[in-house]
Amino acid sequence: MTKLSRLRRSRREILGYIAAIEEMRRGSVVRQFFKVKPKGNGRPRRQGPYALYTRKKNGKTVGRRLRGPQEIRRLEAQVENYHAFRGLCSELVDVAERICEEKAKRS
């Protein structure tokens, strides 16, 4: 198998991984705490954590509170898929550049 055919096979594999990603979201899932000041002279205490999904929209950070462990896991997986997608895109560009270089050698 030639180097060019190996690179093409690698490109097809990466594209297959990308095609398999159905759900993805930009942003992050974070845990947030609030300081709650009790009535009277008590010391403030932390309450939480609360899961929050945040992302940038039109240059501003927007977020929404997540309810329940299923929703938290679902959004965490979608955010992870987005990061995997970005990594695969970077790999795809690297392979495509190597294909270009290999073809240039043959010309």
How many Å apart are CA 49 and CA 3, to the nearest integer?
A: 52
Strand pairing of 60-65 and 45-57?
antiparallel
Q: Say if CB 62 and CB 70 are below 8 A apart.
A: no
Q: What is the per-residue pLDDT for 4?
A: 94
Show the DSSP H helices in the chain as ranges: 3-20, 68-106
Return d(Cα 85, Cα 102) in angstroms, integer: 25
3-state secondary structure of 59: coil
Q: Which residue has the higher pLDDT, 40 or 17?
A: 17
* pLDDT of the residue at 73: 97
Read off the pLDDT of residues 42-95 as tens digits, 9 standing for 90 and up.
788 888 899 999 999 999 999 999 999 999 999 999 999 999 999 999 999 999
pLDDT(12) > 80: yes
Tell me how far apart the alpha carbons of residues 57 and 90 are, in angstroms, rounded to a whole number: 24
Q: For residues 7-29, give the mean pLDDT.
A: 98
At residue 106, does pLDDT exceed 90? no
Provide the pLDDT for residue 43: 83
pLDDT at 34 over 90: no
